[in-house]
Amino acid sequence: MSQRPEILFPLFSDLKGLDGVGPRTAENFAKMGVEKPRDLLTTLPHNLIDRKIITTIKGVILPAVVTVEVLVGVHQPNTVKGRPTRIMVEDAEASFQLVFFHARSDWLRQQLPSGQRRVVSGKLEVFDGLAQMVHPEFITNVNDAALIPQIEPVYPLTAGITQKTITKAISSAMDRVPNLPEWIEPSVLSAKQWPSWKKAVFEAHNPQGLSDVALNAKPRERLAYDEFLAHQTTLALARLNNRKEKGYRTVGTGELRNKVLAGLPYRLTGAQNRSIMEITDDMAGETRMSRLLQGDVGSGKTLVAFIALLAAIEAGGQGVMMAPTEILARQHLAALLPLANDAGVVLEILTGRDKGRERQAKLAALAKGDIQILVGTHAVFQKDVEFQRLRLAIIDEQHRFGVRQRMSLGAKGDAVDVLVMTATPIPRSLELSHYGDMDISVLDEKPKGRKPIETVLVSNTRMDQVVARLKAAIKDGRQAYWVCPLVEESELVDFAAAEDRYRALRLTLGEEAVGLVHGQMPNAQKDAAMAAFVAGDISVLVATTVIEVGVDVPNASIMVIEQAEHFGLAQLHQLRGRVGRGTQASTCLLMYAAPLGVTAERRLTVMRNTNDGFEISEEDLKLRGAGDLLGTAQSGLARFRIGDLETQTDLMKTAFDDARMLIHTDPKLETPRGKAIRTLLFLMEQDKAIRLLSVG
């Protein structure tokens, strides 16, 4: 099965076999991610140039590309070195200049003889009050005007590749496009009125009007769906494969869980109870669990995770919970230690800070099974970290870790169940494209008694009022976070800004009242500042975004975010979620510098209008795009050449449903449609799917 079908060979041959592509051009194409004819065919035009002939340039809004019949006038040759040759021309109602740099005068006289009529096409712009066309792209006799393409597609380019080069190469690649078997489900094909794959490729590269380069043009929509379908088929095969992987039936007695739940001063939400049941049912099943637990800020994920860990321990196993930062790992430790003590369970932490004998002692206890739950950072991945009987691996804030890391943690034991958690609600389309191989539990309720956080937009010109208000709140025994701006993607500049704000607030609020925490501080200092804030010894904690995820201080009820317009929506929502965790009404002040850009204003308005993380995530996707939302570089997020996750959610959903149905009825892809899908997988280079089929 691992052999590419012969029908696709022409699309995967050497680019240098195409018209106009030599070794240098092939190197330049590679910079665009184009290495074979198939890549060229999936690089679609994003605009077009209209070269239909007009009678006069009069009334045309410049600059613009125009094609017009002209009478050639006088040549003004370049008498001074470096000056261009200018040729006056006139159409039916107006005149303009043609401008040529470094052109031979005899060639110009031959192409554009004075007193003759010619058709010229190129970009017309105004320079020093005169309309001029520099180096026309086309010059023809009036009788040959039909040779000028009326509509010319515009492609994305890189250095060394011109529109002419890419158009010529694509035209040559089109000659190699085979008729492929249809892989789209017939009812979907007819409902959407899509052309065949070959016709879609041809039409997408030959747009006849602006509507043909829009995302919803039928040929483009079909090609986007092909990408989504290949991706979803891969995820469906991976899911099927996961389900084939034998797991341990982890069935706990319920004793430890009941003890902890009985000791809680509150009742779980319906969503928490439902998620716990879904997770423990998975753990008790015969196959390995691969589940995503997503919940909004403050929906109680950590407790759900802890109950799942207890189920693993009741069954005689161990559990591990991994966080992306040391602050968050230590906070999990602080939150879970009292619960672990109530249950009589041994819980330890392992981070990069553990060295020498202390580390060796922890590793030995872990390998013997004396440590039942381990909380840690990336340090957990290291080779010498061995468990006696790891049953459950939990990864917090999954989007900070790559898919490979998710798998390598699962490999720390035999058939380990994996639970992934995220406090960043994920838009439906990304959930399908990123986690389509997993089952999903959603915490969509807040614990009772949580008050909504009031969000206020404040101009930074009112800084004195904000500080005065803070002073009054501190007198009342309240605590506040003050988050400093992201000056740029530089920790150094960020912490300089934080230190300046820290000094300024200490002068106003008192030296003892203000603490500081940022990424450049030594760990011990960071911990000391956090501990003092948790204990209530300091009233205001000045911080960079290190407190973004998970930090939990119930008495903190004010969040000030400076230069909030520089933060993304998801980040603002995470930061706001640090308050509103206690019984007091909480406030989030978003300070901004006027005037606000359109996008920044929309972001801040969304924050003011809603506390719902799922609503915010959908808005964030529209504003930022998929790659930024999950951090494409490290998230293993699928990259699509044609499909657009932000606007084509419905297509992704259709592909998701279709792929699951297909793999359910034809898991080995052996029916005629299944075989066509195999061709699609090869076309889209879904190697993972192809490997799964070979193994399966």
Q: Which residues contact 56 (CB under 8 A, 6 or more apart)?
A: 68, 91, 92, 93, 94
Domain co-membership, 61 together with 77: yes
- Is residue 440 a contact partner of residue 291, using CB atoms and an 8 Å limit? yes
3-class secondary structure per residue, 317-346: CEEEEECCCHHHHHHHHHHHHHHHHHHCCC
Is residue 665 in a domain? no
Residue 537, C-beta contacts closer than 8 angstroms, at least 6 positions apart: none
Instruction: Assign residue 78 the CATH number of its domain.
Output: 2.40.50.140
Q: Is 196 exposed, middle or buried (0-12, 13-18, 19+ CB in 10 A)?
A: middle
Same domain assignment for residues 304 and 419: yes
Q: Are residues 488 and 416 in the same domain?
A: no
Residue 314: inside a domain: yes
Could you tell me if residue 59 is inside a domain? yes
Residue 175 domain-assigned?
Answer: yes
pLDDT of amino acid 569? 81
pLDDT lower than 50: segments of the chain = 1, 488-491, 626-637, 695-696
Q: What are the angstrom distances between the C-alpha of 382 and each of 256, 408, 602, 680?
A: 30, 10, 43, 38
Among 443, 464, 486, the domain-final residue is: 443
Report pLDDT digits (tens) over 543-556.
Answer: 887 665 556 777 88
Question: What single-letter amino acid sits at 457?
Answer: L
Same domain for 100 and 189, yes or no, is no
| Whether 345 and 379 share a structural domain | yes
Number of domains in the chain: 4
Say if residue 431 is in the same domain as residue 484: no
680 domain residue, yes or no: no
Check whether residue 38 and residue 139 sit in a common domain.
no
SS (HEC) of 277-290: HHHHHHHHCCECCE
In a domain, 230, yes or no: no
Determine, yes or no, domain membership for 542. yes
pLDDT reported for residue 486? 58
Answer whether residue 642 is part of any domain.
no
The domain boundary residue, chosen from 190, 214, 238: 214
pLDDT at 379: 79
- Whether 141 and 162 share a structural domain: no
- Same domain? For 318 and 362 the reply is yes
Where does a domain end: 102, 123, 148?
148
CB-based contact 590:561 (threshold 8 Å): yes
In whole angstroms, what is the distance from residue 347 CA to residue 386 CA?
Answer: 16
Residues 204 and 344 placed together within one structural domain of the fold = no
If you ran DSSP here, which 8-state letter would residue 232 be given?
Answer: H
Q: What's residue 154's pLDDT?
A: 87
Whole-angstrom distance, CA of residue 237 vs CA of residue 689: 6
The set of residues, in sequence order, having a beta carbon less than 8 Å from that of 508 and lying 6+ positions away, is 467, 471
Backbone angles phi, psi at 439, to 5 degrees: -90, 155
CATH number at residue 395: 3.40.50.300
Instruction: Please name the residue ranges forming H helices in 577-612.
Output: 598-609
- pLDDT at res. 637: 47
Give the structural domain span for 195.
Answer: 6-48+157-214
Please check whether residues 403 and 538 belong to one and the same domain: no
What the block records as the tokens of 298 is 């403050």
Question: What is the chain's percent helix, strand, coil content, to nearest 5?
Answer: 45, 20, 35
Scan for tokens 């969000």, then name that residue: 455
Give the CB-side neighbour count of residue 355, counting CA atoms within 13 A.
Answer: 1
Which helix or strand (DSSP H or E) is residue 97 part of? strand 95-100
What secondary structure letter does DSSP report for 538?
Answer: -
CB half-sphere exposure, 127, CA atoms < 13 A: 11
Q: Are residues 490 and 601 in the same domain?
A: yes
